[in-house]
Structure 1
Amino acid sequence: MTEELRGHRIAILATDGVERIELEQPRGALHGVGAQTELLSPHDGQINARQMDIDPAGSFPVDKKVRDASVDDYDALLLPGGTMNPDQLRTDPDAVAFVRDFMASGKPVATICHGPWTLAEADVLRGRRLTSWPSVRTDLRNAGAEVVDEEVVIDGSLISSRGPQDLPAFCAAVVDEFTRALEPA
């Protein structure tokens, strides 16, 4: 195990319906380089994951309610997808405010699949370049983003990817970009 992100705390914002693999693989990649992650959600207890949006895929324990979290406590943010997860997050005022504040902080944010829906709701995509699951792209364009169909897109501190098929490249980009952004000056 390498230690590029030892001592760094990464927030993962998700709720019920999260696509298991889109939370699990990036989280594992971050742990593999020494990062500590905390799962934030609008509710406490646990969140129920899905596989391909349809099949139940276990659960994850919630570390903290998003309303009790502060952007200042984290070095980066991961927004996994799954259709139901961000659809619920974008209707939660605390989740939307946390995402808006995180983007305003300039700290790195990574999102995959349907995850950018919450960014659109937070009104932080105007003039940004990113990618997503195909069915989300019109919403992102309507939010002012330039949307492209690429495996991974890096626009400043925003890292995005299309979906589960891109996880190997997405995980590598997340580790590389978080490490680069969080290196001491």
Structure 2
Amino acid sequence: MKKAVVLLAEGFEDIEALTPVDILRRGKVECTICSIDDELYKTSSRNTTIKADESIKNIDVDEYDAVILPGGLPGAANLRDNENVIKLVKEFNSKNKMVSAICAAPIVLKQAGIIEGKAVTSNPNFKNEFEAANYKEDFVVKDGNIITSRGAGMSIYFAFKILESLTDEETVKKVEKSTLFDLVKGYYGK
């Protein structure tokens, strides 16, 4: 079974953190919600409090296939400014494991020094942060082991791209059908 870890900092964006958890768990990917410090309860940018499953100090990169970084402010900045997060992201990347970030969270990948020359996207308000990268305006951008997405409205596309990268076409189609995303995807043509 594949495993992913979602990093939560104070001020995370609800939909960007929980949509990947929901979609991945539907696809039988074990998904751990992880606090970036010892305090397991984190409050989102919309004042939703979530209890993490684990603390970052207990995460062994070798046990996971992917790390997921939700945006939101100040959540993305709190991720970027946490030395343990940067270390973990660098370790996932050095082992060619999936590193994914949405909205403002690609600033974490920049801080970790792993996106120079890579195709990436982000919330448009952060576009100027990525002059050393190959910036795109697609809903979701995948370049090797790195997946980035634009924002809350693209959360389900982001989650499905992660699921697609961790599982197989049959699993993706099954989850798309069970969530009716197959209808949405057809409607919007993405």
Q: How many corresponding residue pairs?
A: 167
Indicate the SS of the match to 2:127. Answer: helix
Greater displacement, 163-172 / 117-126 = 163-172
Alignment gaps of 5+ in structure 2: 169-190
Alignment-derived partner of residue 38 in structure 1 = 32
Q: Deviations 1:69-126 (Å, cap 9, x if unpaired)?
A: 2211211111111021120111111111001111111111221101111111111111
Q: Which of 141, 147, 158 is equivalent to 1:153? A: 141
State the percentage of identical aligned residues: 26
| Alpha-carbon distance in structure 1 between the residues aligned to 2:79 and 2:152 | 20
Partner of 1:71: 61
1:177 is matched with which residue?
165
2:3 partner letter: R
Task: Please say if residues 45 and 74 of structure 2, whose CA atoms lie closer than 8 Å, have aligned partners that are also in contact.
Answer: no
Question: Alignment partner for residue 139 of structure 1, among 129, 136, 141?
Answer: 129
> Is 1:50–2:38 an aligned residue pair?
no
Per-residue CA deviations over 1:104-155 (Å, capped at 9, x if unaligned) read 11111221101111111111111111100012121122xx211111111111
Alignment of 1:8-27 (within 5 A): 8-27=2-21
What's the CA shift string for 1:24-49, capped at 9, x where partnerless?
11110000011111122222221111
Aligned Cα root-mean-square deviation (Å):
1.4
Q: TM-score, normalised by structure 1?
A: 0.85
More helix as a share of residues: 2
Higher strand share: 1
In the other structure, the counterpart of 1:59 is 49
Distance of 1:110 and 1:151 partners within structure 2: 13
Distance in structure 2 (CA, Å) of the matches to 1:32 and 1:17: 26
Gaps of 5+ in 1: 1-6, 181-185
TM-score (norm 2): 0.83
Cα gap change, 1:122/1:36 in structure 2, threshold over 3 Å: closer, same or farther?
same
Q: Distance in 1 between matches of 2:167 and 2:99?
A: 12
